[in-house]
Chains A and B, each alone.
Chain A
């Protein structure tokens, strides 16, 4: 019996291979292994960089990208769950990332409304990114003081590129305290 844990976004899935009537089956569970997602018998083949998967007499075409797979027109980011040490590592990275607002899409910065030092409330628009002829407002997901603005109008940004950095919690208060005393 072989087992593998694959992470997709927030969720982790366990895949167990088992033999059933001389056919190879897969059992997929989620959470702590108690929630059954599917128990399927699959027929799988690959050619020219793609895989074909037959489940329940239905054909799925899979293209393998660098960070996940495309199944027909659905995209799933996948990664193999690493050992404990690495998981802590990603969490540390997540915390470091949390003081940034990153771009959800690729496009050209149309306008920037925020400046360093400004206090911003949740939902307040920070900047606008034009993509495919549409303006997309990027809003603050928290209250806080802007520390750095990494981009200027006219810049082309990629998905997940850092746009704005907030002051770490307490950082702003600290400066205020120093000013007071």
Chain B
């Protein structure tokens, strides 16, 4: 019998849009929220909406990684649980353990599971034990003999191959090698890049699957039972960062889907997983390979919430409190289609250079089937110190075409002025024939020709907007004369006020 630990006050060790999302779920359960922030973020929405807020000692992203400071703040506030959100410390087994050791509830799976799944080598072994297929590959030590064996092995696998650091995630320390001549250079750069984090003793050499789709399965487990909440198609990526995600995926066979679900549930149950998580698979034709498991909530959880109606953060809180899964597999019903576009503060016309600034204008549309997760307001400063993702737009519809149209509609009415964003790029991408037909692979946006075509779509669009801009600019300059007149009238009004004031005093 598991101990029930009810949560009354939750510390959110995150910021921005996801902090707001967690707050929404916590407040609905009557759980008070405590947030942490850096001093530039004092006016942020997540700080305003919290019951208590603590300013972190550090600056920028590093502040949210300061484990001592976070645990101190949690204890000082009298919080009884910690939700890590995603990014930052969400997949840090050491932090999870420290939270538990401090007598607090960790909203997420156990540190052991986080550690196992955070190591690509162990995760592969775990999958193989449970008969879940993995990409053909092997780990080699970072020694002279290791490199030699790896080189031989790569030739055996056949090029192209993929080199990965087993501890790295999020597209970091990962290289594609197309020929034996490039092998040594790629090996060295992966070793160098991996050096930034905790160094792994070895490097993973895998067969490279070029025409693959990135399909992931959302799962939830309470330690005893496990269920899946269908799949998400996340093939549209740039620099290994997802841009557009959708659920369900209409382009793989129902048979294959059932196999994916079975593998996902087997792994989740096999690990006695407690919490919500995601299993990532690479799918090529009718075969699939397990890539990795994300032991946290994901950015794109909103598409799953749309098609199943399940509040995944609420589910996390319920599992963290030691409750049994409130759903059986047959309770989870898929309905409709959902697509999410991630809004990044980057300039698509300047090779996606990050952009920062102050938001001077914001128009958030409200329309059927549209959900926009953000923590923006007029005056919000987008600093260069955090992740460039500033908002997510999720559309829900009866069919894929209907959903695409709704997402386009929402993006065309969404205005974020003051910071350059990729919204125009998302719009161009959504009307691109290959995307509309669903012929998407993880390599699509690596194709220079396609990127050029997308830029051409954006450029034609831009001309239309330029005309509007010129006309409005000219009109405003014209009205400066008029404004001068208004100012004159203003001073007259002030005189009137003075006169009124004086009369008031006399009375």
Contact = CB atoms under 8 A, between A and B. Distances in A.
Interface of A: 2, 4, 6, 8, 13, 15, 26, 28, 37-38, 40, 42, 44, 46, 49-51, 53, 55, 58, 60-65, 69-76, 78, 80, 104-108, 130-134, 136, 156
Given A4-B477, A28-B467, A73-B423, 11 more contacts: A6-B474, A44-B472, A50-B361, A53-B468, A63-B417, A69-B469, A69-B473, A73-B417, A80-B477, A106-B384, A132-B387
A40 to B, nearest CB: 6
A76 to B, nearest CB: 5
Nearest to B412: A72
Contacts of A61: 361, 363, 415
A40 B361 contact: no
8 contacts: A28-B470, A40-B471, A42-B468, A60-B469, A63-B361, A65-B418, A73-B420, A133-B61
B470 A62 contact: no
Q: Nearest 10 pairs between A and B by C-beta?
A: A70-B417, A63-B361, A60-B468, A131-B384, A63-B417, A132-B388, A62-B472, A107-B384, A132-B354, A131-B354
B499 interface: no
B462 A37 contact: no
Contacts of A106: 356-357, 383-384
Given A104-B353, A105-B384, A73 B468 contact: no
Contacts of A105: 353-356, 384
A136 B354 contact: yes
B467 A104 contact: no
B471 A15 contact: yes
B424 interface: yes
A40 B463 CA distance: 13
A45 to B, nearest CB: 10
B424 A73 contact: yes
A55 B471 CA distance: 10
B415 A73 contact: yes
A38 B415 CA distance: 24
Interface in B32-87: 60-61
A37 B476 CA distance: 20
Given A63-B360, A75-B420, A105-B354, A44 B465 contact: no
A4 B479 CA distance: 13
Contacts of A62: 468-469, 472
Given A42-B471, A65-B360, A71 B412 contact: no
B361 A133 contact: no
A55 B384 contact: no
A137 to B, nearest CB: 11
Contacts of A71: 465-466, 468-469, 472
Interface string B152-184: 000000000000000000000000000000000
B350 interface: yes
B386 A132 contact: yes
Contact of A8 (B423, B461, B466): B466
A interface secondary structure, majority: strand
Interface residues of B, number: 48
Given A37-B467, A60-B465, A134-B354, A51 B384 contact: no
A61 B465 CA distance: 10
Contact of A104 (B350, B388, B412, B463): B350
B504 interface: no
Contacts of B357: 106
Nearest to A75: B420
A107 to B, nearest CB: 4
B380 to A, nearest CB: 14
A108 B385 contact: yes
B474 A51 contact: no
Contact of A15 (B355, B416, B420, B474): B474
B18 interface: no
Contacts of B461: 74
Contact of A44 (B360, B412, B471): B471
A62 B417 CA distance: 9
Contact of B384 (A60, A78, A80, A108): A108
A3 B477 CA distance: 12
Contacts of B468: 42, 53, 55, 60, 62, 71
Kindly name the residue among B346, B388, B472 whose own CB sees the greatest number of chain A CB atoms within 10 A: B472
Interface in B179-198: none
A4 B461 CA distance: 24
B403 interface: no
Interface string B339-369: 0000001100010011111001101000000
A159 to B, nearest CB: 8
Nearest to B426: A73
B477 A53 contact: no
Contacts of A131: 354, 356, 384
B29 to A, nearest CB: 32
Kindly name the residue among A69, A72, A76 whose own CB sees the greatest number of chain B CB atoms within 10 A: A72
Contact of B470 (A13, A73, A133): A13
Nearest to A62: B472
B386 A133 contact: yes
Contacts of A50: 361
Given A26-B474, A136-B354, A63 B418 contact: yes
Contacts of B355: 105
Contacts of B416: 73
Contacts of B356: 105-107, 131-132
Contacts of B475: 44, 46, 51
Kindly name the residue among A15, A28, A62 whose own CB sees the greatest number of chain B CB atoms within 10 A: A62
B268 interface: no
Nearest to B357: A106
Nearest to A60: B468
Given A108-B384, A133-B386, A136-B354, A76 B361 contact: no
